[in-house]
Amino acid sequence: MDREDYRALFNPRAVAVVGASNNPLKLGYSVYENLKDYPKGNVYPINPRERVVQGSLAYPSLHEVPEPLDLVVITVPREHVEELVRQAGEKGARVAVVITAGFSEVGGEGRELERKLIATARKAGVRVLGPNCVGVMNLKAGLNATFIKAPRPGGMAFLSQSGALAAGLVYRMDSQGGGLSKFASLGNMADLVFEDFLPHLSRDPDVKTIGLYVEGVRSGRAYMEALREATRHKPTVVLKGGKTPQGARAAGSHTGSLAGEYRVFRAATLQSGALVAEGLEEFLAMAQGLEQPLPRGRRVAVLTNAGGPGVLMVDELVRRGLEIAHLSPETVDALRSFLPPAASTANPVDMVASARGNDYWRATRLILQDPGVDMLIAISVVPTFAGIRGVDHADGIRRGVRDARVEKPVLALFMAGRVAEEARLALASNGVPVFETPGEAAAAAWALAWRAGLVGAWPGAPVP
């Protein structure tokens, strides 16, 4: 994929949705609905049987579109796709996103259709994303060429070989306050593969971190080379599906030794400078945590309003090779000056349950300014009594980070399910990644320390 293809895919000047529909039961309905308000180019609904689609004039075919196209999104049944890709090429489109399923993933005739589709696309000069995919998003540009809901804009670029897993992750991330920069669902990877995206994403100023969900790769060598190059520019986290032989069978993976042997894949990925997440929670936590500045050392301070979560947080940090910072006497004195007698000013700094937003503000600032602290994890168990509000805690942390005026990573742990949701969203939208469990926050902290070269490999959960 060249630069112009990448531009056409994520920042198209004109895009058509083939199969755009008025019927909410069709995928083409959702895709056009998500895409129609794209602010940076014209979006054309293509439907030979409707004159108006969702309030806009529809075009009977790609030929009728009154300007050259960059991107064509295809949602109609598989027998039409090859011809549509040919026509897309005639309209100047550089990329076709083929959401339609029923190709090589179902075997038999589908495999043959996919082969012919790609041969025609090559002749037509069109790159193909998919088939059997969810589509693409560029959140900063307001582009959502998928049938799923867009998350908030964020720093993580996410490439997923599984569309549904991507949907699940995107919704989970959105509920936690996270966001995405760019997203592509690779589907059957009949043409565009991970290594087509990596060189561009790693140089994209909107992208802070890269996350990959990989079931198998076409060319182990090309993938690993692209990964090695990408990780020089951007922190990259990989989650592998099909780690076990049974999982690989479920993935229908027939991609040779790199995919089959998880130990080999894992070692090679780590050697390429990417992080390997063992599970979904860890994957998201690492990718979101890595949006923070890198720490200079591995001394972590924990600020909390509750003892137990602070204890578990320390356990999770220490077992991953991080250190618990010693606060300077000056910091301890300053904390002591405004915290109640029951508070603990050792690390973890436990402000106890009465802590309010202003306490978080002062403590965050003081701790971040302590030269013995390389990283801060701020914990709030959102109380539901005494008029204390989680959003005030979130706002206190945000102001503390701002006023500290230091370049140190800050992570937050807001425990309490739905009760803390508003606070999590408020803090995450201000650039502090928020997690729900000590394990997730520690995985993020560890990822930052690893990227900074401060800790060795975390063995994670044992692999079979």
| Subset of 350-409 contacting its own copies (CB under 8 A) | 352-353, 381-387
Q: Give residues 250-269 in contact with its own copies (rule: CB under 8 A).
A: 250-252
Give whichever of 25 and 205 is closer to its own copies, judged by the CB atom. 25
Is the preceding omega at residue 329 within 30 degrees of 0, hence cis? no
464 binds its own copies (CB under 8 A): yes
328 binds its own copies (CB under 8 A): no
Burial 245-284 (b: 16+ CB within 10 A, else e): eeebeebebebeebbeebeebbebbeebebbbbbeebbbb
CA 145 → CA 5, 67, 97, 189, distances in Å? 16, 19, 9, 17
Longest dimension (CA), the chain: 76
For its own copies, the binding residue among 106, 270, 332, 406 (CB under 8 A) is: 106
Per-residue contact flags (x/-) with its own copies for residues 187 to 216, judged by CB under 8 A: --------------------------x-x-
Q: Give residues 11-50 in contact with its own copies (rule: CB under 8 A).
A: 24-27, 29-30
Distance of alpha carbon 128 from alpha carbon 188, whole angstroms: 10
Beta strand pairing call for 56-57 and 52-53: antiparallel
- Please identify, among the stretches 159-167, 228-236, 264-272, 359-367, the one whose residues bind its own copies according to the rule CB under 8 A: 159-167
Q: Give residues 266-325 in contact with its own copies (rule: CB under 8 A).
A: 279-281, 302, 305-312, 314-316, 318-319, 324
Contact at 8 Å (CB) between 434 and 177?
yes
Identify which of 162, 146, 171, 214 has the alpha carbon closest to the alpha carbon of residue 10: 146
Per-residue contact flags (x/-) with its own copies for residues 47 to 76, judged by CB under 8 A: ------------------------------
Distance of alpha carbon 177 from alpha carbon 191, whole angstroms: 33
| Main-chain dihedrals φ then ψ at residue 388, nearest 5 degrees | -80, 135
- Please identify, among the stretches 59-67, 100-108, 192-200, 448-456, the one whose residues bind its own copies according to the rule CB under 8 A: 100-108
> CB of residue 277 vs its own copies: minimum separation in angstroms?
11
Give whichever of 396 and 439 is closer to its own copies, judged by the CB atom. 439
- Please identify, among the stretches 54-62, 101-109, 188-196, 391-399, the one whose residues bind its own copies according to the rule CB under 8 A: 101-109
Give whichever of 57 and 457 is closer to its own copies, judged by the CB atom. 457
For its own copies, the binding residue among 144, 160, 181, 345 (CB under 8 A) is: 160
Distance of alpha carbon 200 from alpha carbon 154, whole angstroms: 17
326: left (phi over 0), alpha (psi -120 to 50) or beta: beta
